[in-house]
Each structure stands twice: as structure tokens, then as C-alpha cells.
Amino acid sequence: MTTDWLRNPASLFDIRGKVAIVTGASGAFGALAAQVLAGAGAKVVLAAGNAKALTEANDACKALGAETATIALRPNTEADCDAIIQCAVEAFGGVDILVVGSGLNDPCPVTEMSLERFEAVMDGNLTGAWLISRAFGKVAIAQGRGGKVVLVSSARGKLGHPAGYTAYCASKAATDGLTKALGCEWGKYGITVNAIAPTVFRSPLTAWMFEDNEKANAVRAGFLARVPLGRLGEPADLAGPLLFLASRASDFHTGHTVYADGGYTAG
């Protein structure tokens, strides 16, 4: 590797012109990821099942000046995953970055949870990630120019939870395993595979935890007692790790889960 980057270390994070696919692009993390990559100059393919929310997420990316394409599919089947990847190939000529932002949580005590509900969480968080990663890998390997895969794990992949998270915790622990296995398998192709594992960060789903009222204050205080940095996460706290994992700055990092959690899992 040349040392030209020493004159401009920020160039290590340059993803201008790269083709990025984001699944779950209408969700809290997926929409954020799409905007971060769009703002950094990538060409972004947004995939999600909610057509209306997908349009809104796409509009936000276009407002940042990005070239975009959309496909109203989730990575639920082999055919849908192939279609998502093909959308990127047809729109922009190839693939460079995959961010798997799609997922599912369905808290329920294990004794009350049906097998169907358990399988739905596992499929949404693990099988879908495996399917879309496989589809991406087939094209990326054939291209011969490397690539970046960023999965979404959770602090719950490392820690348990008392509120009916047996499916979610299991799926995210398996996501960490998938990250390691793919990182090992695809290293020879120059494809890095890593995961981001957040805790609570500001989004439409968690806005209530940031409010100043009795319920929110009590829940927040209990949670923050375990967070060394003493605050909840903000979108920018995820943007930095994402850009690192999507750029050549992370070319020697693979198979890792990066905990963007304020130190929550360190204790």
C-alpha cells in the first residue's frame, strides 16, 4: 500500500462513486445508513418493503445530491435478494458496499412464544442477512475488486435481556457468528465483513426515551446506570463506525463486531 494517504488521511474514508446497497432502508438504522453513504458521495440503492417509507428515504438521499435507485423488496427470498443486487448492477454497473439494515424484533416470554414467531425473528435478522450477503458475494467475487459488507448486530447479541428477547438475542448472536465466518471465508477476495452493534440511539422508534417525563426519565436512568459515557446514542454515533467499515480505512478489519454503545457492553 502506498503512503500517498499520509498527505490526506481523510481520503481513507472516501467512498465517492462507490455503489452501496442498503436493505431495510426505510427503517431507523437503514434510513440513516443510506443518508450517511449518500452524503459521503456513494451511489445508493435503497431496498425496503414499505414503498411509501422507501420513497421518503430515497428523497432524503437525493436531497443530499446522491445518485439513487430503489427497489421495494426485503431480503426474504433468494429471488428477492438476487433482484436487489441486480438492481444495483443495472443502475450503476456493479456493487461495492452492502449494508444489511433490515431486521425484526418481537419480544415475548419464551413460554408464550410460538415457533412461527421465533422463526420469523430468526429469518428477519439472520436468514435474510445470509441470503443477501450470499447474493452480494457472488457478484462482488466475480468483479474481483473487493467489497464491504456491514451487518447490523446488537448489544443483545452479547448480553441477555429479561423482557422476552430469546429470539432476538439468539438471532443477533448468530449474526456475530455469520460476521466472523464470512470475514474468514471472503478475506481472500478482499471483501471485508463486519457488524455494527448499537444499543439505544435516537430514532422515531426510541424518541420516547429522550423525552422529559416520569416514565421516560425512569427508564432512561435505569439504562444509563450501565452506560459509562452516561448518555443515549445519537445518529452521528453510528455514522462514524459505518463510514469506517464501508471505506478503505477498514481494509485490514474483518470479522469484527463494533459496539457503538457508549461502553454498555464493556462492563
What are the residue numbers of the active site?
Answer: 168
Sign of the C-alpha dihedral, residues 124, 128, 129, 130? Answer: positive
Region of 197 please: left (phi>0), alpha (psi -120 to 50) or beta. beta
205 within 8 A of 233, measured Cβ to Cβ = no
Grid cell in block for residue 217: 426519565
**Strand, coil or helix: 192:** strand
> Hey, CA dihedral for 59, 120, 161, 266, is it positive or negative?
negative
Contacts of 45 (CB under 8 A, 6+ apart): 19, 20, 21, 22, 68, 69, 70, 71, 84, 87, 88, 91, 92
C-alpha closest to that of 201 among 239, 234, 242: 234
Contact 243, 35 (CB under 8 A): no
Q: Are the beta carbons of 126 and 174 closer than 8 angstroms?
A: yes
Distance CA 102, CA 152 (A): 8
DSSP state letters, 209-241: GGS-SHHHHHHHHHHHTT-TT-S-B-HHHHHHH
Non-local (6+) Cβ contacts of 86 within 8 A are: none
Per the DSSP assignment, residues forming a β-bridge with 193 are 149
